[in-house]
Amino acid sequence: MTTVLPSVPAPFAPYTLRRPEGEVIPLICDSPHSGVLYPDDFGYALPFDELRSGEDTDVHVLWRALPSVGATLLAAQFPRAYIDPNRDLEDLDPAMLSGPWPTPLNPGEKSRLGIGLIWRNAGHARAGLIYDRKLGVAEVQRRIATYHAPYHAAMREQIEAAYGRFGAVWHLNLHSMPANSYEGLQVLSDHPLADFVLGDRDGTTAAPEFTDLVARALRARGFSVAINDPFKGVALIARLGRPAQRRHSLQIELHRGLYMDEKTRARGAGFDALQRALAEVSRDIAAYVKDQVQ
């Protein structure tokens, strides 16, 4: 397993892109939060192990079978705590900045929770402040230009290429969720967190039959599945999902307890079994997509 360093001095590509192997299908998948390369200009003040709590560590590895079934897999290499590609550019807390932002901002619920475009908080229940300073406007703009913008450009390119070729596209937005997700979101729940949470923004970003197909594929492998509870999906699927135009976008959150030790972030005993199960789920999803475009 790759050693994760507190700082990476050398420049690196903002993402990796694995293209389909064999027959191509219009299934575009991305892991926006599994990046573990921490830029050396981060300037964080939080202990590194607490900062890492934001990672969806190894999610792109768990889903590594996707290209073998004809899908495309995009994965961020930068950490979401540095800049979050699953946030709109306007979802930025102006109180974090040392000067005025040049365009209108619209910080939302994620910024209120300290996890907007630029994270304010991390650690257990996001109680720790990441910075002991204000961030310069130019500093944030560099993060956007170097990491956020290229990631979104790559996503658009893959989505539009698939749509142009097939007249339809299906997108999976891949994540992992901590055991204390309800607490972190400040949501009261009378039931435990499911193994998987599928988010389609209350049925607006994907056809119900697609969401149901993914849920059934997961349940068939023995996993519990919830729909839009507590994660409905954020910026990426909101932007991409237009099912009336045959553009379907679904967020998949998987419980970190299934595959890692959340304190050390080391792979757990269930990692290989989960990876094999997700390879089977990938085949089921690919078969559905193929049927839709034949």
Contacts of 153 (CB under 8 A, 6+ apart): none
CB 13 within 8 A of CB 77: yes
Nearest Cα to 53, choosing from 142, 152, 126, 153? Answer: 126
- The predicted structure's pLDDT at residue 203: 97
- The predicted structure's pLDDT at residue 56: 97
Rounded to whole angstroms, how far apart are CA atoms 119 and 113?
9
Split at pLDDT 50, 70, 90, the class of 1 is low
Q: Across 90-218, where does the E strand assignment appear?
A: 121-122, 128-129, 169-177, 196-199
Architecture label for domain 15-81+150-293? 3-Layer(aba) Sandwich (3.40)
As a whole-number percent, the residues of the chain with pLDDT over 90 amount to 94
| Averaged pLDDT, 256-270 | 96
Contacts of 55 (CB under 8 A, 6+ apart): 33, 34, 35, 36, 79, 80, 81, 265
Which pair of tokens denotes residue 234?
């954020």
Q: What is the pLDDT of residues 2-56, one digit of tens each?
A: 799 999 999 999 999 999 998 999 999 999 999 999 999 999 999 999 999 999 9
- The predicted structure's pLDDT at residue 94: 98
Rounded to whole angstroms, how far apart are CA atoms 201 and 237?
8
CB 60 within 8 A of CB 211: no
Write down the residue that tokens 């055991």 correspond to: 179
Compute how many other C-beta atoms are within 10 angstroms of the C-beta atom of residue 141.
12
